[in-house]
Amino acid sequence: MYRLLPLAAFPLLLLGCSDVDEGTTVTTVNSEQSGEAETVIEADNGWRLAASQSAGATAVYTEAGAASGTVSISCPIRNLMEVSLAGAQPLGNGEAVTVSFGAGDGIALNVVPTIDRSATGNAIPGGMKAAGPKPEGLDGMMQSGDVALRYGSKTYGPYPALPENIRMRLLSEC
């Protein structure tokens, strides 16, 4: 019994030394869909991150009082960055979304049709997704500040900057 006590205390020591930002909670849950462990980080400023081995990482910003996420930034696979924007309607072919962090240069991502996988095969209303290669220096860009998106003639945001532990976990999946 006494031999197991140091082993039981070890996870508590690791928790005390982790890089958890103030105002965030980190939990690990088992995903109902895949059955694998999923890390969830929730920040007081409205950002939430979910990450798993098979699904990559997705950071979602939800405005206070909103029922669902407003904007999400994800890295479903290495070197691919996706941004989804609730409530934005696709404008047409050739349009791009520009994602900016702080006052830095924007990242242009191509709009990707969101196809309904049911029998209709139509575009899914109520949102838009854009994707593109992860740019060099993404970490430095993300440290620059608030997140804003420009799509067509409309600007969305600014949204609060990604908390450090959410930003670092997202980047580890990119």
Instruction: Give the other-Cβ count within 10 Å of 106's Cβ.
Output: 16
Q: What is the mean pLDDT of residues 63-85?
A: 82
Which pLDDT band, with edges at 50, 70 and 90, does 28 fall under?
low
Query: Is the model's pLDDT at 7 over the cut of 70?
Result: no
All structural domains of the chain:
20-173 (2.60.40)
Q: Is this prediction's pTM over 0.85?
A: no
Q: Within a 13 Å sphere around the CA of 60, how many CA atoms are in the beta-carbon half?
A: 14
pLDDT in the model for residue 73: 92
Q: Which of 11-15, 22-26, 62-66, 127-131 has the lowest mean pLDDT?
A: 11-15
Give me the percent of the chain exceeding a pLDDT of 90: 21
Q: Which of 10-14, 32-36, 50-54 has the lowest mean pLDDT?
A: 10-14
Query: Is the model's pLDDT at 160 over the cut of 80?
Result: yes
Q: From CA 165, how far away is CA 167, in angstroms rounded?
A: 5
pLDDT in the model for residue 14: 32
Which residues in 120-143 are b (16+ Cβ under 10 Å) and which e? eeeeeeebbbbbbebbeebeebbe
Whether the CB-CB separation of 103 and 144 falls below 8 Å is answered with yes
User: Across the chain, what does the average pLDDT equal?
Assistant: 75
Length of the chain: 174
